[in-house]
Amino acid sequence: MTPKSAPPETETLPKIALSPNYKWFVVGMLWFCGFFNYADRQAIFSIFPLLARELHLDKVQLGLLGSSFALVYGICAPFAGNIVDRVRRKSAVLGGLQTWSIICMLTAVSRNFGTLLFFRAAEGLGETFYFPASMSLISDYHGKKTRSRAMGTHQTSVYLGTIAGGFFGGLIGQYYGWRWSFIVFGGLGVLLGFVLMKYLVEPKRGAADLEDFGVPKHEARHIPVGDFLKVIWTTPTVLLCMGAFMLDNFVGMVLLSWMPAFLYEKFNLSLAMAGLTATIFIQLASMAGSPFGGWMADTLRKRFPGGRIAVQVIGLLGSAPFVIWCGQTLSVTWLMVALTCWGVFKGMYDANIFASVLDVVRPEARGTAVGFMNMVGWLVGAGTAPVIIGYIAQRASLSYAISIASIALVAASVLLLIAIFFTVGKDVERLRRQLE
């Protein structure tokens, strides 16, 4: 696919859009958006001890700060996804970036738990538009041959953003106070939005898939929510992938929300080092695992329809024992080893979260599909994890709470194995017929 056929004719193209590699430039531009998407949401977890001390918060209240973001993010996700399928994805990406960045900056004015909870929840509303828009946009520049690699490359922004948010959030808070963490990350996001406004081009919906299936023309039309729900209900691969994402996101949120505090309490690390250690090993390892998982998935997808999902199963089953190891080890060194191994397998799963689903969903409904994925993953999975783990930790220990989270990964792999053997082949063939 060339960029000349993708953008609307009414849009004035920047010179960079005429390059045959523009589809990879799009991934690069969205990479920076994804970076701040996760840096902004991660920074707060590294300053939990400061918030607890200044605002007199207990572990359940700290858990609610993580859950409030996830719950609002999840509740709004399907509505955001449906809006994304009606409007230009470029506007949704950049509008969301500016909105969540401004809210991030405003969080600095919080003086009590209620105000902090409000801004944290509001940030979830701003960020909920990003992934439905960006994944839909990337899917129209990258088809069957490169979709997992493109989305896997974009996924590395999540890892570096998490590292930056975890480390610099703790570092800035340690030396200048927790409020400046929000001001710095939010301000940089606002500046990025103005830069990308000039260079990001809206593609034609479904362009990559039309090329893959050899369909000369397909008239994209908006699918009402009721019809979309009917499509999802009759596409079991999507339901199974959603269930797996929900379970994996539960474990991922345990890592993001409680690992910094776990290291601070158990190994007596400083705020900055706890935030860095909790993120850098697993995220850097995921940066290696994600492109590798994307390449492997694109290769296997050429051989059989469930190729992407097979790579996800390897990632989930490979992660589970290292989650247990993280919770039980008494050595910082072995904890680093466990986090690194966990990260490699996690990246292999993450590279294909949306690519697997978009293989069986019509182009004009992909924003809504990603929105529903995020609703299930964040509302039920990540939305409950901080509070559940905080509750268990108060009655047992964080070590125990982190370890038992591994059960969710095994359950998720079972759902995906069902998809590989029983549903994905039929669903891919159904999509091909729909596009003809």
What is the tens place of the pLDDT at every residue in 283-329?
Answer: 889 999 999 999 999 999 999 999 999 999 999 999 999 999 999 99
Taking residue 55's Cβ as centre, other Cβ atoms within 10 Å add up to 17
pLDDT at 436: 67
pLDDT at 212: 64
Least confident of 150-159, 236-245, 412-421: 150-159
The encoded tokens of residue 64 equal: 């609610």
Q: What gap in Å lies between CA 386 and CA 23, rounded to an integer?
A: 37
pLDDT at 3: 43
What is the tens place of the pLDDT at every residue in 79-95?
Answer: 898 899 888 999 999 99
Q: What gap in Å lies between CA 308 and CA 263, rounded to an integer?
A: 34
Q: What gap in Å lies between CA 187 and CA 105, rounded to an integer?
A: 7
Confidence band of 1 (pLDDT split at 50, 70, 90): very low
CA atoms within a 13 Å half-sphere pointing along the CA-CB vector of 388: 14
pLDDT at 246: 95
What is the tens place of the pLDDT at every residue in 362-414?
Answer: 888 888 888 888 888 888 888 788 888 888 888 888 899 999 999 999 999 99
% of the chain beyond a pLDDT of 70: 92
The Cα-based distances of 97 to 5, 22, 82, 361, 387 in angstroms read 27, 21, 18, 26, 27
Q: What gap in Å lies between CA 369 and CA 359, rounded to an integer?
A: 11
Q: Flag whether pLDDT at 280 surpasses 60.
A: yes
Q: Mean pLDDT for the chain? A: 87
